[in-house]
A and B are shown apart, each in its own frame.
Chain A
């Protein structure tokens, strides 16, 4: 047995301590990263969940059908435009407070209803013309400040002059809430509307449709090109300068900042080709150019993972190189290509910067209906909302983030699932 002296034992202890320290640093770093991930998600979740609800006010309304229906008894848009819907809403709303007679008080009372409540009422009668002439109870949106106060997100500690709601208005809201005239209900407008200046009627549908249209162009453009390019590079390219150059270009394009693709789109697609601004077509092309390298790299890896014996067997049986590639190798590589495509699409879905360059950052109140109509996308909508002054837009952008991240997690786990399911060890 080797004689250990004190010094050696000390050194051994130091060395063991050093090992401990390295491990601790590692664990600390990982937990720090995980804590940050948790903080990010929890802080957004906490500020976003409340947007699932929205303050509505119950109103009793009776509208004369003569003002709205045409001779045949159908809903007349022209006549409906002339009706003072806001007046109907505020008159009905004010009946809750019979003691109020002063004009200034009435005005601040009216401000508690959403300025879109009249429009909502009109939409309701357009859908249900049979309810005209009847006494109906209908829930219409309250203003965004009303909504924030009911959710306890309104800062009442500030001086009254600097607040958007006066003490009197807060008392009214308390009264309405106590009498169950106003209530927090599920926020449907968030899911069925496009953007709006009023937070209470702003929704995400327009952005979702815009993103869908954009990604449709992206996948139609990027997937075929990327797959064809990868088959070429793996099966037909002769080693040489041109092939090297193509490969260097692909790797470089994968590392270029996304905003540069936006600049390319701005100066080539908009400036040179004269395509329309803010259109999903242009956005999709920019994102497509950005995604092609990602898909090519994934496709080439999965084509390369198919053992050469498959190709050799096909060639030996008399297939041409093209047949071997298209009939035998590509189907076996398809799951890998699909996974790469989904990951590329997830990237494109979350991408904002190039879309800002080509003008998809406009305020658009209509849901886009074609590839060339002005549209916006989900991440851009989040960006625009978080830039707005109204407090109620914050929670909406948080909720939109939760949806976007949810989408991305679904896409990514689908990719992981597909990879696990179809992964073959040859």
Chain B
């Protein structure tokens, strides 16, 4: 039985046990002489939880572990039939067996056909076992719990404890996600650094992953020096911030300090439309409208502009970041206490002087935080640069030339069929780790800056 059918079945079981238990609790409460400890529905929920969750967990465990177990078993089988095979060869044969057993390819080797046959038999046995055990567990627990309802026991407390545990587990998922990200990036990166020296990656001046096509080729290693990629990333982010920072900040100042309420109510949501546009749309705009436009202008000025210039990607990324900066800064400026403004105005300063000399210094820590968050966003932005920036890693700071960024490289290394033991794939995880570390550090600095430097005014 498939995963979803099984899931639906155990949900149906647990609903049955819910209704059965709550109605039997209701009857018992009606005929009871003593006061019941909980409402009928609590007894229902109690048996629902017992019918659903253990079976659900079992189902998940089986679904994840089952195939892994079968794979390992068959790896042993293959190793037994042919002792000379190394690990890679065994993996290859296993993949072939899987493909044969689900019918996507066929083979004429009888040995492999036999193994494939055994494989599908084995797998179907595992699935049958899964079906039986899940259904059995669910129904047995359901029957036991719902036929033994004791209205003197307070099932509400039990149900609430269960909820509380469930809620706690959901909150902890945030930790699990972070741990999962760090662990997976570290694990794959360590495999990469086992193949390629760490310091060459970090300080190498040459990035050319595509050289390694065949292992017997000259210069087959490929070259994974991260610096040109990092420099390109920083260049694009810098251009983006040069565009976004003044526009975003001045818009925020105007909206917060000068605009009337009506203007604000119209302009603010309109600017936020910019933030809601998917990045792939900006990428499309950058690649097909902005880049040719900038190239044309450069040509009329007699400049040689690359068709995938850093300038086009960076400028469009800047447009994307404007609303991010303006709405964050707007909130921060608005949270500066009114008494500071009143004091300054009362001393005879103009509104502009108040804004520049009093409000902005008070808002400064928050603004720095917003700025750093925007930078971290620019560095991690993917689609605009994938579509508008190039693939060749030039060590340059000329915005009119083609540069590449960390995210572009990750995408180009990982799209298409990826094998996990390939150095190119692994190098993408190395870049991913660098990206994660970079943005994490920026986020932390942003947090610390806005906490440490900010003053309490009221």
Contact = CB atoms under 8 A, between A and B. Distances in A.
Contacts of A289: 177
Interface in A222-238: 224-226, 228-229, 231-233, 236-237
B422 interface: no
A26 B285 CA distance: 26
Interface in A19-42: 19, 21-23, 25-30, 32-34, 36-37, 40
A187 interface: no
7 contacts: A15-B352, A40-B282, A246-B174, A257-B377, A263-B432, A266-B418, A416-B269
Contact of B436 (A43, A236, A260, A274): A260
Contact of B407 (A47, A259, A350): A259
Given A29-B247, A350-B280, A401-B284, A229 B167 contact: yes
Query: Can you list the 7 inter-chain pairs with the closest CB atoms, starting with the nearest?
Result: A257-B380, A26-B254, A350-B278, A232-B167, A19-B352, A353-B382, A29-B250
B323 to A, nearest CB: 8
Nearest to A23: B258
Interface residues of B, number: 91
Given A27-B254, A37-B270, A236 B164 contact: yes
Contact of B383 (A253, A349, A383): A383
A298 to B, nearest CB: 15
A252 B270 contact: no
Interface in B212-263: 246-251, 253-255, 258-259
Given A257-B435, A266-B418, A353-B383, A228 B174 contact: no
Interface string B344-386: 0000001111011000000000000000010011011111001
* B interface secondary structure, majority: helix
B283 interface: yes
Contact of B380 (A28, A236, A256, A267): A256
Nearest to A261: B181
Nearest to B172: A246
Given A249-B175, A259-B411, 17 more contacts: A16-B350, A18-B350, A21-B352, A44-B285, A250-B174, A252-B178, A255-B376, A257-B439, A264-B181, A264-B185, A292-B177, A351-B279, A352-B280, A353-B407, A353-B411, A356-B415, A382-B280
A28 B249 CA distance: 12
Contacts of B288: 47, 386, 394
A322 interface: yes
B283 A383 contact: yes
Given A268-B180, A322-B163, A352-B278, A15 B350 contact: yes
Contact of B273 (A250, A267, A409): A409
A273 interface: yes
